[in-house]
Amino acid sequence: MNKMKFSLGIWDKLNPQAQKKLKRIRRPLWFGTLWNINPLSTAWGKDRGSPVDRYYIERFLQTYSDDIHGKVLEVGTPAYTDRFGENVAQSDVLDSNRANPKATILADLESTINVASNEFDCLIFTQVLQFIYNLQSCIQELHRVLKPGGTLLVTVPCISKVDPGYGNNKDFWRFTDSSCKLLFEHVFGSHQVNVHCYGNVLSSIAFLTGAAREELSEKQLDFCDPSFQLLIAVRAVKQ
């Protein structure tokens, strides 16, 4: 079955969720997945449902939703601020792309952010730092713009394909819980950093092959195997 066999444009009449479900039925996760050199999806599973790593990102942000308050800065879009924030007084969006209509602060994280020190109560940086070559300077800059007592919420990949939007020119890093601990403790202090790892061999395989989160059960997703870290999340508080 494929969409070319649908007559009278039936495929185009299906809503996006129905199309994603049909793609999962047409090519299920376990039917020859490990014996195929082509992934199920080249779009992180977005065309089949929601990406596996987003399950872990949202779980982390839900855990620390109390930190998302006051003056909040997020990268690219305010989606997580809007979804998880509580008592948000001001929501700002950081981006280097001037074409982003949601951006309120234009800056490249490879350089200084053009805002005053001690400015924000919370920074949300999900899946961003792998594209920053000078990591230590970037983390120091994020520390600078946080208010004393403010919180930085970060997620980074441990296992992931190369992002086609950046390719080999800009997708620099993959992380472990150990590397994140050292990176952030160097700037924030050893008692100010909490590091979480998420994933297991099953969820990692599913993510790499482009399966959707909906194709795994919560039990399969929630099991954590530190030997197969898919995603690392960091909560760092400025003293």
Q: Using the predicted structure, report yes or no on whether residue 3 has a pLDDT greater than 70.
A: no
Choosing among 3.40.50.150, 2.40.50.100, 3.30.910.20, 3.40.640.10, the CATH entry for 47-237 is 3.40.50.150
Domain edges within the chain: 47-237
pLDDT, averaged across the chain: 92
**Cα-based angle 24, 27, 32 (whole degrees, multiple of 5):** 130
- SS3 of 72-138: the string is EEEECCCHHHHHHCCCEEEEEEEECCCCCCCCCEECCCCCCCCCCCCCEEEEEEECCHHHCCCHHHH
* DSSP 8-state code for residue 145: H
User: Could you tell me which of 181, 186, 58 has the C-alpha nearest to residue 127?
Assistant: 58
Beta-carbon count within 10 A of 175 CB: 22
* DSSP 8-state code for residue 195: E
Give per-residue pLDDT as tens, 77-133. 999 999 999 999 999 999 999 999 999 999 999 989 999 999 999 999 999 999 999
Give per-residue pLDDT as tens, 186-196. 999 999 999 99
Give per-residue pLDDT as tens, 40-59. 999 999 999 999 999 999 99
Indicate the pTM of the whole model: 0.89
Strands 231-237 and 193-198: antiparallel
Distance, in Å, from the CA atom of 48 to the CA atom of 42, rounded to the nearest integer, reads: 10
Q: Read off the pLDDT band of 9 (50, 70, 90).
A: low
Percentage of residues in the chain having pLDDT higher than 70: 94
Q: Is the Cβ–Cβ distance between 154 and 211 less than 8 Å?
A: no
- Burial class of residue 133, CB neighbours in 10 A (0-12, 13-18, 19+): exposed
Strands 88-95 and 70-75: parallel
Q: Using the predicted structure, report yes or no on whether residue 164 has a pLDDT greater than 90.
A: no
Where in 1-64 does DSSP place strands (E)?
A: none
Give per-residue pLDDT as tens, 130-145. 999 999 999 999 999 9
pLDDT (0 to 100) of residue 1: 44
